[in-house]
A and B are shown apart, each in its own frame.
Chain A
Amino acid sequence: MTEQFIQQLVNGLMLGAIYALIALGYTMVYGVLRLINFAHGDVYMVGAYLAYYTSMQWVNRELINPYALLVIMLFVSMIGCSLLGLLIERVAYRPLREAPRISVLITAIGVSLLLEYGGLLVFKTAPPPSIAEEVRGAAMQTPLVLFGVAIDKGQLAVLSVTLVLMILLWQFVTNTQTGRAMRAVAHDFDTAALMGINVDRIVAITFLIGSALAGAGGMMNATALGTPLTTFYGLMPGVKAFVAAVLGGIGNIPGAVLGGIILGLAEAMVVFADPFIPGFELTGYKDAVTFVILIGVLLVKPSGIFGSPVEKV
C-alpha cells in the first residue's frame, strides 16, 4: 500500500512537472501581454514532432550514445520551438498590439487551428508515429530502487530536467537585467515603455522562453509516454496546463508551477482512491478531474492561489 502510494506520488509529480512546464509559457505570456496564447499547446505538439524526427535520424546508428541522443532531442525541440514562438509572436500578435484584446484572442485560436491543420500537411500523421521505445529504453532500462520502491530512471530524468529548467528561469527573471525588464512590463506595459524598456524585445523573449519550455515538455512527454503523435497531440495537455496556470493565478510564475504539480497529483490520487470508493469507476475520470478543479477555482477564488485579488485590467 505504501509502495503503491509512493509510486502514485511519483507518477503525479512527473505528470505535474510537465503541466508546470507548459503552464509557465501560458502564464508568462499572460503576464506581459494579458493574452491567453491558445497556440501554446500546439507549440508543445511541434516540440514532440521535432523530437520524433530527430530520433528517427539517429535511432538506427549504433555510434551514438543513448544519453547523448536524448540530450540532442531535447535541444532540437527547445530551439525549434523557441524559433516557432518568435515567429508566431512576430507574425500574428505584434501587428495586433494596439487592437482590442478580443481580436488578439481570436487570432490566438486562429494560430492554434493553423498549426493543428496546417501541421497535417507537414508532419507524418497516418499512421500516427511514436518515438520508438528503444530511444527511452536504451538509456532508462533498469529502474532505480529507492527506499524499497522501484522508480523509473526516465521519470527521475524528467523531474530533474524540469527542476533545472525552472531554477534557470527563476534566476533569469529575478537576477538579470532582462528579467527585471520583463517583470516591469508585466507590471505595467505602458509605463515600462516610457521608462525606456524595449517592450517588443521583452515580449519576443517571453515567447522565446515560454515556447522553449513547451518544446522541452513535448519532447519529454512524447519520449516517456510513447503516445502516438498527431497534430492534435497538444490539445489536452495544453488545456490542462492552462487550467494549471489559472489554478496558480495566471500571470504568476511560482503559481504556474504549483498549479501544475497540484493537477498532476490530483490525477494520480483520483486513481489511487479508486479501490477505496468502489462502484464509481473513478479511474475513467482521471482526465476530468482537471475540469472539476477549474470550476472549483473559478467559483471559490477566480484569481487563483497566488493571483492578486485586485483585477488589474
Chain B
Amino acid sequence: MKKAVWLTFFALALALGFGCKPAGESGNGSAAGTGSSGSGSTASSARREPEGPGNKVTGDVIKVGVIASLNGELKPWGEDSVRGIRMAVDEFNAAGGLDGKKVELVIEDTNSKPEVGKSATEKLVAEDGVIAVLGEIASGITQPAAEVCFRYGVPIISPGSTRVDITNIGANVFRVCFTDNFQGAALAKFAYEDLGLRRIAMLTDKKQPYSTGLSDVFRQAFTSFGGEIVDEQFYEGGSTQDFKPQLTNIKAKNPDGLFCSGYFNEVGPIARQKEIVGLNVPMIGGDGWDSAELLASGGSGIIGGYWSNHYSNLEDRPEVKRFIEEFKKRYGGPPATAMAPLGYDAALVLLDALKRAESLDSKSLMKAIAETKNLQAVSGTITIGPDGNAEKSILILQVTKEARDKPVKRIEFFRFEPKSN
C-alpha cells in the first residue's frame, strides 16, 4: 500500500505542476490581454493623469533611469536594449548635450523579474530622482514599473513591451514598439492582400498570453477582411515537443497558410514536423520568431515563411545602415536582437522631447513626449499617438535559405480595434 500512497502523492504533485496550472493561466492571460484592448486606443483624455508631482533637474546633470534585464532568462534582450540606449545618450552628449547639460544614465538590473523591476524603479524615481525612466523590454516587468512611475508622476518609455494594456496605466506611459493589436492586424492584412491567402489554420500556444492575444487579433482581422480561419489547434509552450497530432488535424482541413503566434522555441519544431506530416503551406507569425536558431531548428519547413518584426539588420534605410555601422564600431558586432534599435529609439524619443520641453521636469517632459511627431528613428518614423503608443509602420520579413529576416514590405500604421470576447 505504501507504494500506492507515494505514487498518488507524486501524481497529484505532477498534475498540479504540469497539467492544471498552464491551462488556468492561459485562460486568465488571454482574457486580460484581449479584454483591455478595447479601451487601448481611446483618446488621451481617457488616460489618467499621474498622481505624483514628478522630479526636477537640479544642477548640470540630467538624470535618466534605465531598467533592464541584465541577468536572468531575458539577458540577451535586456543587454541589447541597454546598448542601444547608451549609444543614443553618448551621441547626444558628444554633440554638446542640452545647452551644456549632460544626460546621465542610472542603470538598474531587473534580473528578468517583475518584483525586482518594481523595486528598482522605486529606487530610481524616489532616491536617484530621475526625471524619466527607459524600459523594460518585457511587458510583465514594464507593468509594475509603469505603475510606480504613475504614482510618482514620472514618464516611462518602454522599448519593447508589445502587450496592449501597458499604456492604459496612465498618461505617463509610452512605447516605441508596435502593439500586438497592430501586429496581428498587419499580418492578417499581409496574408490576405499580399499573399492572397483565404483559408488559414492557426496553431496557438495556450500557455502564453502573447500567443493567445496575437491569435485572437489575427482571427478577427483576417475574417474582417473576408478570409476564413479553418481551424485552430493548441499546444502548451515548454511542455509540448511533438506537434504532429495537431498538424495532422490541420492538414485534414486543407488550409492555404499556417499562422503560428508562439515563440521560436516551438515555431522551429512545428516547421520541421509540418514537413513530416506533409503539410506544405507557408507559415506566418509575429516577432516571437526572432531567434538566430530559427533556421537551424525549422529547416526547410520554415523557409518561405513570413513574420513581422520592428526592424531588420538587412533593411536598406539610411537610419538602419548608420545605426548598425556605429553599433558594430562600439560593441564589435551587429545587434543580436531588435531590442538594440528599439532601446536606441526609446532614448531618441526622450532626448528629442528634452529639447522641446518647456522646463526640465517630469511634467513638461511628459507633455513633450506625447507631442512627438514624425521622428526619424531606426525602427521607423515615430509619432506618439493619443494612447501613448508609437504610430509607425511594421516590417514584414521572409525566411530564406540565407537569412531568417529578409525584408519584404513595410505596412503603414492603421487602426484596428479587436472586440474583446
Contact B234 A281 (CB under 8 A): yes
Identify B272's interface contact among A126, A225, A275, A313, CB under 8 A: A225
User: Which of A12, A152, A224, A227 gathers most chain B CB within 10 Å?
Assistant: A227
Near A by CB (< 8 A), chain B positions 115-142 give: none
The residues of B that contact A67 with a CB separation of less than 8 Å are none
**Given A236-B18, A295-B12, is A4 in contact with B297 using a C-beta cutoff of 8 Å?**
no
**Given A237-B241, A291-B11, is A283 in contact with B252 using a C-beta cutoff of 8 Å?**
no
Near A by CB (< 8 A), chain B positions 249-264 give: 249, 251-252, 264
Contact B233 A226 (CB under 8 A): no
The residues of A that contact B293 with a CB separation of less than 8 Å are 127-130, 228
**Given A236-B239, A313-B2, is A11 in contact with B14 using a C-beta cutoff of 8 Å?**
no
Residue in chain B with minimal CB distance to A4: B252
Identify A133's interface contact among B11, B12, B15, B296, CB under 8 A: B296
Q: 1/0 per position for A193-225, CB-CB distance to B under 8 A? A: 000000000000000000000000000010011
The residues of A that contact B291 with a CB separation of less than 8 Å are 127
Complex CA–CA separation, A41 to B275 (angstroms): 28
Contact A154 B276 (CB under 8 A): yes
A112 at the interface (CB under 8 A from B): no
Complex CA–CA separation, A226 to B271 (angstroms): 9
Contact A133 B272 (CB under 8 A): yes
Contact A130 B11 (CB under 8 A): no
A15 at the interface (CB under 8 A from B): yes
The residues of A that contact B1 with a CB separation of less than 8 Å are 311
B301 at the interface (CB under 8 A from A): yes
The residues of B that contact A127 with a CB separation of less than 8 Å are 76, 291-293
Contact A272 B249 (CB under 8 A): yes
A159 at the interface (CB under 8 A from B): no
Complex CA–CA separation, A66 to B401 (angstroms): 20
The residues of A that contact B12 with a CB separation of less than 8 Å are 295
The residues of A that contact B2 with a CB separation of less than 8 Å are 311, 313
Contact A311 B76 (CB under 8 A): no
The residues of B that contact A239 with a CB separation of less than 8 Å are 14, 18
B268 at the interface (CB under 8 A from A): yes
Contact B15 A295 (CB under 8 A): yes
Contact B249 A130 (CB under 8 A): no
The residues of B that contact A267 with a CB separation of less than 8 Å are 242, 245
A188 at the interface (CB under 8 A from B): no
Residue in chain B with minimal CB distance to A227: B241
Contact B8 A228 (CB under 8 A): no
Complex CA–CA separation, A137 to B295 (angstroms): 13
User: Which of B26, B235, B240, B276 gathers most chain A CB within 10 Å?
Assistant: B276
- In angstroms, how far is the closest chain A Cβ from the Cβ of B303? 10
Contact A130 B296 (CB under 8 A): yes
The residues of B that contact A227 with a CB separation of less than 8 Å are 241, 265, 269, 297
A271 at the interface (CB under 8 A from B): yes
The residues of A that contact B251 with a CB separation of less than 8 Å are 4, 7
Q: 1/0 per position for A128-146, CB-CB distance to B under 8 A? A: 1110111011000001000
B46 at the interface (CB under 8 A from A): no
Contact B23 A130 (CB under 8 A): no
A20 at the interface (CB under 8 A from B): no
Q: 1/0 per position for A232-247, CB-CB distance to B under 8 A? A: 0000110100010010
The residues of B that contact A303 with a CB separation of less than 8 Å are 3-4
- In angstroms, how far is the closest chain B Cβ from the Cβ of A233? 8
Contact A133 B297 (CB under 8 A): yes
The residues of A that contact B301 with a CB separation of less than 8 Å are 133
Contact B245 A152 (CB under 8 A): no
Contact B296 A129 (CB under 8 A): yes
Contact A226 B240 (CB under 8 A): no
- In angstroms, how far is the closest chain A Cβ from the Cβ of B105? 25
User: Which of A1, A127, A236, A285 gathers most chain B CB within 10 Å?
Assistant: A127
B20 at the interface (CB under 8 A from A): yes
Complex CA–CA separation, A1 to B249 (angstroms): 10
Complex CA–CA separation, A275 to B299 (angstroms): 30
User: Which of A4, A224, A226 gathers most chain B CB within 10 Å?
Assistant: A226
A90 at the interface (CB under 8 A from B): no
Contact A4 B242 (CB under 8 A): no
B34 at the interface (CB under 8 A from A): no
Residue in chain B with minimal CB distance to A228: B265
- In angstroms, how far is the closest chain B Cβ from the Cβ of A313? 7
A8 at the interface (CB under 8 A from B): yes
**Given A134-B299, A227-B269, A313-B2, is A11 in contact with B235 using a C-beta cutoff of 8 Å?**
no
The residues of B that contact A106 with a CB separation of less than 8 Å are none
The residues of A that contact B271 with a CB separation of less than 8 Å are 226
Near A by CB (< 8 A), chain B positions 58-92 give: 75-76
Contact A136 B272 (CB under 8 A): yes
Q: What 10 additional pairs, Cβ within 8 angstroms, besides A126-B75, A283-B234?
A: A132-B297, A133-B299, A136-B299, A137-B299, A226-B271, A243-B11, A271-B249, A275-B249, A291-B14, A291-B15
What are 24 sample pairs from A and B whose C-beta atoms fall under 8 A apart?
A4-B252, A11-B244, A127-B76, A136-B299, A152-B278, A155-B276, A225-B272, A226-B273, A226-B299, A227-B265, A228-B264, A228-B293, A236-B239, A271-B245, A274-B233, A284-B206, A288-B15, A288-B236, A290-B19, A291-B14, A294-B11, A294-B15, A302-B3, A311-B2
Query: Residues of B with Cβ closer than 8 Å to A?
Result: 1-4, 7-8, 11-12, 14-15, 18-20, 23, 26, 75-76, 206, 233-236, 239-246, 248-249, 251-252, 264-265, 268-269, 271-273, 275-278, 291-293, 296-301
Can you list the 5 inter-chain pairs with the closest CB atoms, starting with the nearest? Answer: A133-B299, A284-B234, A271-B245, A302-B4, A130-B297
